[in-house]
Structure 1
Amino acid sequence: MVMADRPEVATASGPVSALAVVGLAESMLNGLARVPFQKPWSGPGGLLDNLGQSVTRQTIRAFMGYSMGLPIEEFRSMEKFIDDICKIVLPPVVGLAGKVEIVADEVAGIPGIWCRAKDSTDSYVDDAEQKKAIDGTMLYLHGGGYIGTSPMMYAAFAAALVRLTGFEIFIADYRMAPEFPFPAGVHDAADVYRGLLERGVDPAHLVVAGDSGGGGLATSLVAYLRDHDLPKPAALALFSPEIDLDLDHDSIVENAPYDILPWSIPVAPYLRGVQPNDDRVSAVYGHPDPEWFPATFVCWGEVEMFRDGIRQFVENLEAAGVPVTGREERGMFHVFPILMPWAESSKRVLRELGELADRYVISDPQAAQTH
């Protein structure tokens, strides 16, 4: 499911949707045309990394800038168009290249997709003795600034995480703003978390992960678990988390020319009257305690707009005694491991994430896939 498939969500007519998609293509081509004028060969990495970073930055910036200017009905229609393409392209790609199975499911009534190594699933291996062990379960909350994207758009990245960790991964299709502002997404994430526990997943084998708005949502989920006496997960993995919706740090302005995010980051549709410094939506204002806050891995880019808020968040965790691994990559922008998985910076981040999984997540040799 994508947001446009929900009965409460309005979409644009067919002709208007087509015009929106054409406009997006024009905007992205315009972004690509700017690449030669941005010194694409210069940067912190090798030539190919620098070129890839420049192309990615201009393309995604054009995509976001155009998308954020659309009426919400047109945005939802365009989002569905992209999701439909991903549903056609990504399952066979990750199935053949990554040997990962994608299966639609609902956990506690919340739709989403499972990503699992084929050699660990009932669908591909009949003999239990030949089946690869599942090392843990990950609840992944996709990014999109609390407003957009879908689980299927994250299938390729999830497949990479499956190969890296040996986990099964459920990407939840939680409700998003502006149709469903805070706390709808938190409640959906909490329902999935409870549902996984009810299916027999041990919290010691469970990781909660997310990027951008999904990373912020993951921290909100941890606070929700504390307030409702639910066990904390074994670990938290965050990629450029949006954990300070106050947006008052210097990096918001200083890094705007270098990041992929639009210079005017929309948070009002999600907050809908909630103060941006409320620690339920901005974890940087919280008071973490190792009793309820899990071991955490955080990565972010040196030139991303959220940099200073994330730095403060990591410092807060360290001061509170929460085990935390923070990785800031020089010259990189928002959610770079997802957008540039081939870059050396991304490879370093994923290696560290694998080490965190080995260190904090208890493997269960008897684990079976979570149906």
Structure 2
Amino acid sequence: MTDTATEIAAVRALLAAGERPADLAGRRKRLDGLTARYDMPADVVVKPVDADGVKAEWTLTPDADPKRAILFLHGGGYAAGSIRSHRHMLAQAGREAGTRTLALDYRLAPENPFPAALEDALTGYRFLLAQGFLPENIVLAGESAGGGLAISTLVSLRDAGTPLPACAWCASPWVDLEMSAATMESKAAVDPLIQRPYLQELATAYLHGADPRNPLVSPIHADLKGLPPLLIQVGSDETLLEDAIRLAGVAASADVRTSLQVWPQMIHAWHLFYPQLADGRRSLAEMGAFVRAVLG
């Protein structure tokens, strides 16, 4: 086996150890626990903050430019995930990009269905503006559901006439809550994390009766004209592969500068496992290079 194959096999084995809990509390605990094995580097400073009513957290590395920030929206299908589950990965993303990072603990479904997460994302962005961050020094980022939420946030900001961030990074974005992509079936046998029945359950909880074709829940249906440059990263072994490809096509058709990276053999949210996965480290480095190039 190649080094990549050996490393991703180890991550697959980690994910296969134990079934996904049936209850929501168990699922949330499991996602946080998946990354608890990774130690935070000693030079990372973590600071909780109230972002105008939204629980949030700063992470800073020694070389972070205090005037630049990544605003991050975690994955977890709008029903799980947290600041804790993605903290180590986001700290590394900030290191690669040379920025501070602000992670939002946005409200989760089913307790807080759409549009609660979107409202919190908008609040978080406006909090950064109120703190003196210039739009051209802000990166909006999200993984999985957070990737879709990032695009919905950009559309909402544009429509409100709010100055947009410099660019956006979407990792394994979920942008179609109808799950109409062909890779929902064609990649089902190789994706260890995300399957149609589970996504349908999550979508039902988040939508709470809303139309799954609403552009603010499924931004694959949104008009993306005027959005800033996008970096979209996805693994070839994801049921969400086509979500990312279609998003890139919709953005490109709307004259948005778009970079799509498909990482061979990678699974959903592989960035989370970067301490033991070289392609996780490489993909974060690619994101950092993209951000540095855009910010100048």
TM-score of the two chains, using structure 2 as the length reference:
0.91
1:143 and 2:75 equivalent? yes
Opposite residue 259 of structure 1, the aligned amino acid is D
- Count of aligned pairs between the two proteins: 292
Q: Any conservation in 2 of the 1:61–1:261 contact (CA below 8 Å)?
A: no
| Contact 1:245 1:277 survives alignment (8 Å) | yes
Find 2:215's aligned residue among 251, 274, 279. Answer: 279
How far did 1:346 drift? Answer: 2.8
Tell me what 2:237 maps to. 303
**Secondary structure at the residue paired with 1:136?**
strand
Shift of 1:135: 5.7
Instruction: Mark the CA change 1:144 to 1:62 in structure 2 (over 3 Å): closer, same or farther.
Output: farther
Conservation of the 8 A alpha-carbon contact between 1:239 and 1:300: yes
Conserved? CA contact 1:135–1:166, under 8 Å: no
Distance of 2:275 and 2:255 partners within structure 1? 31
Higher RCO (CA 8 Å, separation ≥ 6 residues): 2
Distance change in 2, residues 1:74/1:351 (3 Å): closer
CA distance 1:209–1:80, change in 2 (3 Å) = closer
Matching of residue 94 in structure 1 with residue 40 in structure 2:
yes
Distance 1:253 1:133, change over 3 A: closer
Comparing both structures, which one devotes a greater share of its residues to strand? Answer: 2
Which has more radius of gyration? 1
Q: TM-score, normalised by structure 1?
A: 0.73
1:269 aligns with 2:201: no
8 Å CA contact 2:98–2:288 kept in 1: the answer is: no
Change (3 A) 1:211 1:354: same
The residue number in structure 2 matching 1:246 is: 178
Judged with a 3 Å threshold, the aligned counterparts in structure 2 of structure 1 residues 319 and 216 are, in CA distance, closer, same or farther, namely same
Q: Which amino acid aligns with 2:48?
A: A
CA positional deviation for 1:57: 2.1
After superposition, the C-alpha distances for 1:174-211 in whole angstroms (9 at most, x for unaligned) are: 00111111100000111111111011010000001010
Tell me by how many angstroms 1:294 deviates: 1.2
Sort the Cα spacing of 1:214 and 1:305 in 2 relative to 1 into closer, same or farther, 3 A.
same
Structure 1 unaligned segments of length 5 or more: list them.
Answer: 1-40, 121-131, 363-371
Equivalent residue of 1:115, what SS? strand
Matched residue, 1:34: none
- Equivalent position of 2:167 in the other structure: 235
Unaligned runs of 5+ in 2: none
Counterpart of 1:188 in structure 2 is 120
Deviating 4+ runs (over 6 angstroms):
none
Q: 1:54 aligns with which of 2, 6, 9?
A: 9
Aligned match of 2:20: 66
* CA distance, structure 2, for counterparts of residue 75 and residue 357 of structure 1: 33
Name 2:143's counterpart in structure 1.
211
Partner Cα separation in structure 2 for residue 193 and residue 223 of structure 1: 13
Question: 1:133 Cα shift?
Answer: 3.9
Match of 1:32 in 2: none
| In the alignment, structure 1 residue 167 sits paired with structure 2 residue 103 | no
- Give the 5 Å matches for 1:81-160: 82=33, 86=36, 93-96=39-42, 99-117=43-61, 119=62, 133-134=65-66, 136-160=68-92
List per-residue Cα deviations over 1:233-270 (Å, max 9, x = no partner): 10000100111111111100111111122432231101
Q: CA RMSD in A?
A: 2.3
Alignment-derived partner of residue 38 in structure 1? none
- The alpha-carbon deviation at position 309 of structure 1 amounts to 1.9
- Three-state SS of the structure 2 residue aligned to 1:94 is coil
